[in-house]
Amino acid sequence: MAPLYAFAGDTPAVHESAFIAPSASVIGKAALAENSSAFYGVSVRADTAAITVGAGTNLQDNVVLHADPGFPCTVGARVSVGHSAVVHGCTVEDDCLIGMSATILNGAVIGAGSLIAAGAVVLEGTRIPPRSLVAGVPAKVRRELSDAEFAGVQQNAAHYQELARAHKELHG
């Protein structure tokens, strides 16, 4: 049984094809779409506002998704959220890669096809244009992603969909 918890009358909605690791927690008004995954130690805590995770998106080990009142958390389709990243009250559009230990704060919008480097901190209210390479503390747009880099972002998401299927089989 998946670690799903109702909170204040809201029960998570998880597509039957999604993989939720036994040590992950999905709480409250959270929705995870088809072929999405929440790997080991992930926390999707929708106790104060909604969290939506798109189709084919992977939340790698120890990722935290949270939202604040007035700041729902929306992660688009085919997004890879790297190990130990914090995605908080923001919007991540489709086909992005959020690097390991990156932090994205309330009200930020990450444009489709962008790559947020490991350890970057995207400050509150920041708007990142599509297909941007973003790095630093605070995070800044460094340049546009090349076609090869964007293909790598897409390959990472596809690879994690395969891993999620294998882990789902492992846990029955």
The string of pLDDT tens digits covering residues 6-62 is: 999 999 999 999 999 999 999 999 999 999 999 999 999 999 999 999 999 999 999
Phi–psi pair at 167, nearest 5 degrees: -70, -35
Distances (CA, A) of 38 to 26, 70, 92, 147: 9, 24, 16, 28
Q: How confident is the model at residue 172 (pLDDT cuts 50, 70, 90)?
A: confident
Virtual torsion, Cα 146, 151, 154, 159, nearest 10 deg: -140
Number of structural domains (the chain) is 1
- Amino acid at the residue 159: H
For residue 130, say if its preceding peptide bond is cis, omega within 30 degrees of 0: no
Query: 107: domain CATH number?
Result: 2.160.10.10
CA distance 72 to 76: 13
User: Which residues does 49 contact at the CB level (< 8 Å), separation at least 6?
Assistant: 29, 67, 68, 69, 70, 71, 72, 73, 89
CA 31 and chain centroid, separation: 12
**Most distant CA pair in the chain, distance:** 45
**Host domain of residue 59:** 4-171
pLDDT tens, position by position, 91-114 = 999 999 999 999 999 999 999 999
